[in-house]
Amino acid sequence: MLPDFQKMINEPEYNFLRANEHLGKRIMLLGLSGSYGYGTNREGSDVDFRGVALQKPSDILGLTEFEQYKAEKT
């Protein structure tokens, strides 16, 4: 049985998706990658999410920079 991915991203350890100023409401796409994304998952496989977010206006103007966010805990 597959995990409930929607429920998973609403857990406290995924709060960075909502709290990070470069993510939050700027997330355009959030999906599975890794073994679940490719359909090669087995019992005990970890869950990997990848996403795309809109740049902040300050990023576009070159005043700030954001390339990626990597969550080590999840």
Task: Return the DSSP state at 64.
Answer: S
- 26 in Cβ contact with 54 (< 8 Å): yes
> In this predicted structure, what is the pLDDT of residue 57?
95
Structure token pair of residue 71: 């969550």
> In this predicted structure, what is the pLDDT of residue 74?
81
Contacts of residue 61, defined as CB under 8 A and 6 or more positions apart, other chains included, come to none
- 7 in Cβ contact with 60 (< 8 Å): no
pLDDT, tens digit (0-9, with 9 covering 90-100), for 1-30:
789 999 999 999 999 999 999 999 999 999
> In this predicted structure, what is the pLDDT of residue 2?
84
Is pLDDT of 68 > 80? yes
- 23 in Cβ contact with 17 (< 8 Å): yes
pTM above 0.85, yes or no: no
